[in-house]
A and B are shown apart, each in its own frame.
Chain A
Amino acid sequence: MPDTTRPDGTTRSFRLGVAGPVGTGKSSLIATICRELADELRLGVITNDIYTDEDARLLRSAGVLDPERIRAVETGACPHTAIRDDVTPNLIAVEDLERDFAPLDVVLVESGGDNLTATFSPALVDAQIFVLDVAGGGDVARKGGPGIARADLLVVNKTDLAQYVGVDVPQMVADAEAARDGKPVLALSRHDPESVASLKEWVLAMTKIVRGGGHTPVDPGPMAPHSHTDENGVMISHTHAHSH
């Protein structure tokens, strides 16, 4: 479990992991968070690319954050290992970023993707978002898995596409909630400002909680129920995007 202060006395950021299968919109979600919050929070980004520094480049070219604050870590074709079994290269990258741009409020760590079982080690991140998309099919949420069941926030992304892929978003969200014991699920589309605002609120609220020391990172393995859902009424437990 990470300490809040480092031995050399420098401050430590809230480290937020973004996991989920390839193509579900992790990089886009990070770009959205940067765009929405770069004025309010001091941000940094670490990407775990499968084969290229594509994600880092995409984010740098999105112009949402100083390119220097976005760094890529190689995963040797083991994106799962990189965020879970051996977090050393990522941890070094996060700490170096925190040192080079001190003080940072939030460092976002994008997983290289992999499958439904790839989740972050609590040694690397304080909290994590797991991203699914409607295009992956309405059944995915029901199938569950450690990321779906226990991530701090589950995002059902690209709801704007639901009508084209025949997915019933409220049903998919309800399935996900059932698999998650009431932990928050957010139906998101970058084309839906209301859902983007909810995402922003969640990140801000979580930042406040983690930085206030009120959160214990969890990840697969038995976990105590989370109690951060209704902090000041800002935390969304479930947000259903309106259909388009």
Chain B
Amino acid sequence: MLADGRLPTGGHTQSAGLEPAVRAGLGADGKQPADVGAYARDRLRTVTRTEAAVAVLARHYANAQAITTEADKPSPAGTSGTEPFVMASRFVQLESAWAARTPSRALRTASRRQGRAYLRLAERVWPDVLQHLPRDSEIARPLVIGAIGAVTGLSPEQVARLVAYDDAQTVIAASLKLLPGDPAVAVTWLAALHDDIERLVNDVAPLTDIDKIPAAGAPLIDQFAEQHAIERMRLFHA
């Protein structure tokens, strides 16, 4: 369900950086399949690996918190919603670790906007998430995904796969709008990413140490994202 693009979390406004990459020339030489697939693969090896690792850690922390504070959980949202909510320091540190590995301000903003959208949905569907994260707040998307993964009983592998698949699928789906082609062909690009997605899952699922979060940057993706944020002609938010 979380991997379904029809989930109402604003997914249709995202291209996972494909729109600015296309504007910068991706697909311009007519080798679209190779380009779009390679772009998604590059992400799986860099930015998406970091996202998935942060989600895995967030799931880990949320599960640990649920065990240690079982006796005195904060009241779930909806009772009044006005009491200040203090996020556990481990989540704050995790957000900082994520931010440190996400140098583009535009990308941090976009991720927090998406995290908020997920959090709003979680408030209605999986309200236990609000025992870990403050309601309707701008928190990096992988933290929210990890917390949802924890309260819905997902394994670390499932959480990592979810982040990886969603990112790849976002690229592929956006390509149909940006470089229109045969949708079935686009699905074959996605299928070809299977091994890369599983490699990512194997690498990040065992993580429990915040210092081990991968930090392989993708400077071009960051640069494109910054450019995109001030661009006039935009189909996608990021």
Contact = CB atoms under 8 A, between A and B. Distances in A.
Interface in A3-20: 7-9
Interface stretch (B47-55, B59-67, B93-101, B112-120): B112-120
A51 interface: yes
A76 B78 CA distance: 32
Most chain A CB within 10 A, of B15, B120, B177, B234, is at: B234
A97 to B, nearest CB: 15
Contacts of B10: 86, 88-89, 92
Interface in A76-92: 76-78, 81-82, 85-89, 91-92
For chain B, which range describes its interface: under 10, 10 to 19, 20 to 34, or 35 or more residues? 20 to 34
A7 B184 CA distance: 45
Most chain B CB within 10 A, of A8, A9, A51, A89, is at: A89
Contact of B235 (A51, A91, A92): A51
A87 B8 contact: yes
Contacts of B237: 74, 76, 89
For chain A, which range describes its interface: under 10, 10 to 19, 20 to 34, or 35 or more residues? 20 to 34
B227 interface: no
A101 B78 CA distance: 25
B40 interface: no
Given A9-B82, A89-B237, 8 more contacts: A8-B81, A51-B233, A51-B235, A52-B233, A78-B12, A89-B113, A92-B113, A92-B116
Interface of A: 7-9, 50-53, 73-78, 81-82, 85-89, 91-92
